[in-house]
Structure 1
Amino acid sequence: MGKAVVIALLLVAFGMGAGIWYAQTRGYYDPVEGPVTLTLASDTGLNLLPATDVQAIASTSSPLGFRACFAHDLTLAEVTGDLATRAHPGAAPTIAPPWFDCFDAEAIGALLASGTAQGFIAYPNVAYGVDRVVALTDDGRGWAWNELNECGRKAYDGTPVGEACPDRATYTPLTEGSL
C-alpha cells in the first residue's frame, strides 16, 4: 500500500512539473502570423524599419512576451544620423523560450555592452506602459522585444503615473501589422 502511495505521489509531482515547464516555455507563446510592426521612433514620428526574414513570437498572457529576429539593410550611422531615432542606451533584452533560438538575450546583451549593437526605441507604448525596443548591428542583424517604460514601472508598482503617461481609459494598444 505504501509503495502505491509513493508511486502515485511521484507521478503527480512529475505531471505537475511537466505541466509547469510546458506552460512557461511553450504554452503561452505563439508565432506571430502576418506582418510584424517594426519601426524606429524619432522626434518626428515613426519610421518603418526595412526588415526582412522576420521571425517573431508573442505571449498570449503578457505584452512583455514579444520577441523578434530580423535582417535589415541600414547602417548604424543612418539610424542615428539621418533618421534621428531615439537611442535607448539601457536596452536590456529579456530571455526568450529556448526553442526560439534566433533570440539569444545573453548574446544580444553582450553585443549591446560592447557597442557592436545599439538599442533604440522602436514603438513607444506598444501596450500601456510597454515600449518596443530594437537592437541593430552594422552587419544587418536586428532583434526586437518589449520592455516596461517609466509609465509602466510606475503603473505596476502603484506610484501615481503623472501627466507624461497616456490616459489609460482612452489608450489604444498597437495591433501588429497596422502600420
Structure 2
Amino acid sequence: MTGKILSIILIVSGLVAGISMYYLQVYGFYDEVVAEPGRDVVLMPIGGETPQAIAYSDFQAIDADSSPIRYRACFATPLKPAELAQLYELSEARDPRNAPEWFDCFDAAAIGAALKDGRAQAFISEKNIEFGVDRIVAVTEDGRGYVWHELNNCGEKAYDGTIVGEECPKRPQSN
C-alpha cells in the first residue's frame, strides 16, 4: 500500500512539474510590449549610427526578461523592401527564431521562407540592443513586417565560450 501511495505522489509531482515548466516557457515569462509610436520600428541607415523610425501601423509585440532573444513583433507598413534597401542597412539573417504558438502573427517558418525566396528583405534595426544581440526587421512585399532579436558575431562568440576579440564592445558586468 505504501508503494502505491509513493508511486502516485511521484507521478502527480512529475505531472505538476512538467505542466509548470511548459507553462513558464510558453506563457509565463512573456509580457506584451506597450507600443511607443515612432520608436517601435526603426532601421539603421546605410553609413549611419542612429536608427531612424519608419512608417508602421498595427504594431504588436512580446518580450521576456528571461532572455535577450525572446523579443518578437509584427506590424504593417506602406513601404516596400526595395525602397527600404536603398536607404537602410541590410541583414544576412534568414532564419527568425520561433515565437510561441499563441503569438500567431509571427510565423518564423513562413518569414524564413519569404526571406530565402526574395519575397521579404531583412534589415538591421539596432546593433547591440543588448550585449551580442542585434534587432532585426524583415519587411515583405505585401507590407507586413516582423521584428526579432538575433545573436551577432560577438554574441555567438561570447555564449559559445570562444575568446571575444577587440572588435566586440566590452561586456557589461553582471551582479
Using structure 2 for the length normalisation, give the TM-score: 0.89
Q: Does 1:136 align with 2:139?
A: yes
Query: Aligned to 2:89, which of 61, 86, 90?
Result: 86
- CA–CA separation in structure 2 for the residues paired with 1:4 and 1:10: 10
Aligned counterpart, 1:69: 74
- Which letter does structure 2 place at the counterpart of 1:25? V
- 1:121-132 paired onto structure 2 within 5 Å: 121-132=124-135
Instruction: Mark the CA change 1:88 to 1:9 in structure 2 (over 3 Å): closer, same or farther.
Output: same
- CA–CA separation in structure 1 for the residues paired with 2:93 and 2:147: 14
Whether the 8 Å contact between 1:89 and 1:118 is mirrored in structure 2 is no
- CA–CA separation in structure 2 for the residues paired with 1:40 and 1:8: 54
- CA–CA separation in structure 2 for the residues paired with 1:95 and 1:17: 21
- CA–CA separation in structure 2 for the residues paired with 1:135 and 1:34: 18
Q: Does 1:16 align with 2:20?
A: no
CA deviation after TM superposition for structure 1 residue 169, in Å: 4.3
- CA–CA separation in structure 2 for the residues paired with 1:57 and 1:11: 32
- 1:13-162 paired onto structure 2 within 5 Å: 13-35=14-36, 37-42=40-45, 43-45=47-49, 46-81=51-86, 83=87, 85-162=88-165
Whether the 8 Å contact between 2:133 and 2:150 is mirrored in structure 1 is yes
Stretches of structure 1 that go unaligned for 5 or more consecutive residues are 171-179
Structural RMSD (CA)? 1.6
Whether the 8 Å contact between 2:89 and 2:124 is mirrored in structure 1 is yes
- Which letter does structure 2 place at the counterpart of 1:133? I
CA deviation after TM superposition for structure 1 residue 117, in Å: 0.8
Q: Percent identity?
A: 47
CA deviation after TM superposition for structure 1 residue 110, in Å: 1.1
Using structure 1 for the length normalisation, give the TM-score: 0.87
SS of the equivalent of 1:33 reads: coil
Q: Any idea what the Cα deviations from partners look like across 1:43-74, whole Å, max 9, x if unmatched?
A: 12322122211110001101100000000111
Whether the 8 Å contact between 1:91 and 1:133 is mirrored in structure 2 is no
- CA–CA separation in structure 2 for the residues paired with 1:34 and 1:107: 24
SS of the equivalent of 2:69 reads: helix
Aligned counterpart, 1:175: none
Flag as ranges the 4+ runs of structure 1 deviating above 6 A: none
- CA–CA separation in structure 2 for the residues paired with 1:160 and 1:9: 44
